[in-house]
Structure 1
């Protein structure tokens, strides 16, 4: 041992082994477990490697990123939400007509304390919107009047701060929509600008309320009549149109969890559950294009990222344009609250398993990795 080296240092990386094993024995490193559960992706075994070839691999993807994965499954019924249907679940609220003929879209959101399971055997004391993390994915149409009835059943003051355009009175900060336990507040504003947005609690300390799970997607579809020069693209984004129905749309909220509250994350994920989409790959029909609404809410790390294997995408930063801000890229970085829309296709690919993940290797091995199961349709 080097002189003056501490003997009791505990780091996030040391907890990768110790913390996972301690969590009920269900989340362990595959490389240290002889009985590791194998993923059944149907990719088939490759020929046995030449023992003198250090680059040979025993199977495709080595069972998904070398099987640096959690073991077991999180029960969605016990947890109260399932990351697979969460990919396509939109809360559309209820729609009525105002006196001026405009649509009024009303949402109801409740804050509550809830213990959730973020990896097999690993519980986290979350603060939630509507009992889930991330909260409901709210979706509206450009120009509608929005009314969000917010009730706080949690143990702390909370609010809903929307990334959009509204008056200061609707901003969800102290004195403008932040309420105490047992109180109710109604946010009301017009849906603009169109794009991929988010909402989150803006109570202090902000990093605690964000990290505990108080965030969700907030998407405003463009009104094609307001964008005649890009009418076809706008229609493809407007939920309920035939043009939109041809797309496979997915909501992906990149998040992470500090399970020992030392200011560093032990688990990373998309839509909360570590390795959820590696254990249950996302089914994609190869003939239909894919659109991802990607949002980063990760606390304690300056950036997160999304990397698509064997393919490239067009990226619409914040989703507020109908033409791409980046074309033909396979990696995008986002700081916290940054978001955008990814569009790509597997039409020219063979059917099979295609990986996606953060391109910070640590994030990948601690839960942020999944697979697209591209199928013939």
Structure 2
């Protein structure tokens, strides 16, 4: 078998081959180069992550969260609700500051990726507002290329964050301002050209608009359960998961898959879940170069709210959901009747799971 860099195989083939070898030959190559971090800004990457340990199911080693400046486990519940004030009409105004910057991040143990980021992290901050809020985002571009913030929602053409409307040049800034509609699980991303490059380099994040119970009294209880800060919402365990992937050798084919960027982060550090409290996942797919991604829950089923724009499920009692790029939704389920233990979740494209998109819930009594 030939190694990466000799023109014989791609990184994707090498990673899969590593699993089949049980980490043998490729693990030896890894050990020989262990002192050097792997950089993904070359035409061909030198060393793939290996799957030799952990039953051949995960990458080997640990990512340095401190160096990255973000922790995938903390990202699950790290909502940015902005600075809150009131305007002259008494309406809630939420203000945010988001900065674009170039930053090298570690996406798998020892594998560095030259990312373009919002606030130094991938995905960018998970912005959360309430339906009807006035939203104001000061966007500063400290990166090396023009960038934007395109929000999936309702707004004017001037605020669309596309070439000609809302572009921040390097060293410049732009202020986006709009009212938050409709409620649901949404996203934002850079919409400058070439679009696929700006997205796959890391410029995206979750944008959640909570429903206003006062606007729908017939479904007020369901709306309050989604509204951050209410007693009804406090009973839920809410998690934000952004499904993403990385083309490490820039051949328009992904080599690493993940939720919230770091391969197998939640396989190595399972997500703690209280058995008595229901779970709500805000799931967003922003994977480039693959037409669909998916989420599969082991040993359980969930209700699904496509785009999160309804308070009644669009699908009931399913255990797998597919999403194309930019599609998103809300999953609700419970482990109340399950015994404590580890419950797996992953993409149900086996290759995606093997290359990083797999994790576990640790259900506790």
Tell me which residue corresponds to 1:16. 15
Secondary structure, aligned partner of 1:287: coil
Shift of 1:359: 0.1
Q: How does 1:1-377 map to 2 (within 5 A)?
A: 8-16=7-15, 24-25=33-34, 28-30=49-51, 33=52, 36=53, 38=54, 66-376=55-365
Provide the C-alpha distance between the structure 2 equivalents of 1:15 and 1:338, rounded to a whole number of angstroms. 30
Shift of 1:365: 0.2
Structure 2 residue runs without a partner (length 5+)? 1-5, 19-25, 35-46
Q: Is the 8 A contact 1:200 1:216 kept in 2?
A: yes
Shift of 1:27: 6.1
Q: Is the 8 A contact 1:258 1:265 kept in 2?
A: yes
Q: Is the 8 A contact 1:116 1:126 kept in 2?
A: yes
Secondary structure, aligned partner of 1:305: strand
Secondary structure, aligned partner of 1:176: coil
Provide the C-alpha distance between the structure 1 equivalents of 2:335 and 2:16, rounded to a whole number of angstroms. 37
Query: CA offsets, 1:278-299, max 9 Å, x none?
Result: 0000000000000000000000
Shift of 1:81: 0.4
Change (3 A) 1:18 1:353: closer
The alignment's C-alpha RMSD in Å is 1.6
Q: Is the 8 A contact 1:224 1:230 kept in 2?
A: yes
Change (3 A) 1:27 1:263: closer
> Larger Cα Rg: Structure 1 or Structure 2?
1
Q: Is the 8 A contact 1:27 1:70 kept in 2?
A: no
Provide the C-alpha distance between the structure 2 equivalents of 1:8 and 1:153, rounded to a whole number of angstroms. 37
Query: CA offsets, 1:223-256, max 9 Å, x none?
Result: 0000111111000000000000000000000000
Shift of 1:10: 2.6
Shift of 1:257: 0.4
Secondary structure, aligned partner of 1:131: coil
Q: Is the 8 A contact 1:28 1:69 kept in 2?
A: no
Tell me which residue corresponds to 1:42. none
**Segments ≥4 residues shifted beyond 6 Å:** none
Provide the C-alpha distance between the structure 2 equivalents of 1:15 and 1:172, rounded to a whole number of angstroms. 39
Secondary structure, aligned partner of 1:283: strand
Provide the C-alpha distance between the structure 1 equivalents of 2:309 and 2:266, rounded to a whole number of angstroms. 28
Provide the C-alpha distance between the structure 1 equivalents of 2:116 and 2:172, rounded to a whole number of angstroms. 16
Q: Is the 8 A contact 1:27 1:71 kept in 2?
A: no
Tell me which residue corresponds to 1:54. none
Shift of 1:14: 2.0
Number of residue pairs matched?
A: 338
Secondary structure, aligned partner of 1:364: helix
Task: State TM-score, norm by structure 2.
Answer: 0.90
Shift of 1:75: 1.3
Secondary structure, aligned partner of 2:59: coil
